Structure 1
Amino acid sequence: MIVEQRTYSLHIGAVPEYLKLYEEEGLAIQRPILGRMVGYFSTEIGALHQIIHMWAYKDLAERSERRAILTADPRWKEYAKKTRPLQISQENKILIPAPFSPWAIDDPALDLAALKS
């Protein structure tokens, strides 16, 4: 299992608008496709005006396949047009869970084959 951490730095004051758009539109598109949301966060202390979201995958191959399905989805393309102007930068990290982490074990209920059918 791997966890992808995505950090978006937004324009000052854009966090509420970004979160509203995501909750109203993006979540319903992204969650069924990417499957295993670890969490979705905004920052309060430290680097401000950031959104951090984390998704778990079996491996890099599954991540690539799910991300390809997402980026090809016309609904996602339309949604992304609305959020890109709010963004300044993006950073991705692939995290490897320690053996005792809850995300070290896969959930068979989130099998990629179900998404394709």
Structure 2
Amino acid sequence: MAARVLHALGCGLRHATLQSNPQSRLSVRSASSIKSLFVRKVDPRKDAHSHLLAKKEDNNLYKIQFHNVKPECLDDYNKLCEEVLPSIHADPNYPCELVGTWNTWYGEQDQAVHLWRYRGGYPALTDVMNKLKKNKEFLEYREKRGKMLLSRRNQLLLEFSFWNEPVPRDGPNIYELRSYQLRPGTMIEWGNYWARAIEFRQQNQEAVGGFFSQIGRLYMVHHLWAYKDLQSREETRNAAWKHDGWDEAVYYTVPLIQHMESRIMIPMKTSPLK
């Protein structure tokens, strides 16, 4: 009741002020006009953002896996992965490739990250899953792995059309996975800005791959970068600010982000990305 009374009093005072002071009415209208300039207007679209942002020349689907491992099991977990995952990668009967496999160094601890590529999209993913159900070695691996994990999650991803496809590279390198939770409805804007911004970050070939989620946590973006070491990372990132246009890309993309996270990762012995 008190809140309603205060609200009514406030409205009455505001009305009286506007009636007695025409200049106040003008100020309010001006403020409203200025405010309207900053209200984000998203045009309606008749196509999914995945069709607008993803590569058209192929039909690649990616899966990223995050495994949180019991601290005392990490070494055994790594050995198990190194024994089994490369065999799936090398088998021509499986239309999938292990892009990279890492342990998180800085960020969430005792964590493994695996990135797979499926040539042929969802049918290839289904084909691999059905074959793995009959793969004795994989079923044993999954049983052993389950006893070593605290939790796990995954996402299905598409790659941005303006990023290069991830390809094997020699090392040693460290990798940074920068993950962004975007505000719903802003993926197209993100893609428009980064299509230009990526040009500033390819000078030292640090850009490995850029992806956005399709299944799992939605409106997620992952950027994967490679550096020789942490000092090289610092110097490379600072150098980007010397390019005209990088500051503008950062300025306009930061408001699109709800949450962001950075992982520094070390490749496992059998990772194609060394």
Residue 186 of structure 2 is aligned to residue 17 of structure 1: no
Kept after mapping to 2: 8 A contact 1:56/1:103? no
The structure 1 segments of at least 4 consecutive aligned residues displaced by more than 6 Å after TM superposition are none
- Please tell me whether the aligned partners of residues 5 and 54 of structure 1 are also in contact (alpha carbons under 8 angstroms): yes
Match for residue 113 of structure 1?
Answer: none
Structure 1 gap ranges (5+): 105-117
Judged with a 3 Å threshold, the aligned counterparts in structure 2 of structure 1 residues 21 and 45 are, in CA distance, closer, same or farther, namely same
Query: Structure 1: how far apart are the matches of 2:230 and 2:246?
Result: 21
Do structure 1's residue 29 and structure 2's residue 200 form an aligned pair?
Answer: yes
Tell me the percent identity: 33
* Deviation of the 1:74 alpha carbon: 4.1
Higher helix share: 1
TM-fit CA distance, 1:73: 3.7
Q: Which structure 2 residue ranges, 5 or more long, are not aligned?
A: 1-172
Distance 1:103 1:61 in 2: 20
Q: Root-mean-square deviation (CA), in Å? A: 1.5
The superposition leaves residues 1-27 of structure 1 with CA deviations (integer Å, 9 ceiling, x where unpaired) of: 11100011111011122012211x111
TM-score, normalised on structure 2? Answer: 0.35
Give CA-to-partner distance per residue, 1:11-70, whole Å, 9 cap, x none.
1011122012211x111112225x222210001111111110101111111111111112
- The amino acid of 1:29's aligned partner reads F
Matches of 2:189 and 2:249 in 1, distance apart? 13
Within 1, Cα distance between the matches of 2:222 and 2:182?
11
More RCO (CA 8 Å, sep 6+): 1
In 1, are the aligned partners of 2:201 and 2:207 still within 8 Å (CA)?
A: no
Segment of structure 1 superposing worse, 48-57 or 14-23: 14-23
**C-alpha deviations, 1:45-100, integer Å up to 9, x for none?**
11111110101111111111111112454421111111111111210001100122
The corresponding residue for 1:107 is none
| Matched residue SS, 2:175 | strand
**TM-score, normalization: structure 1?**
0.79
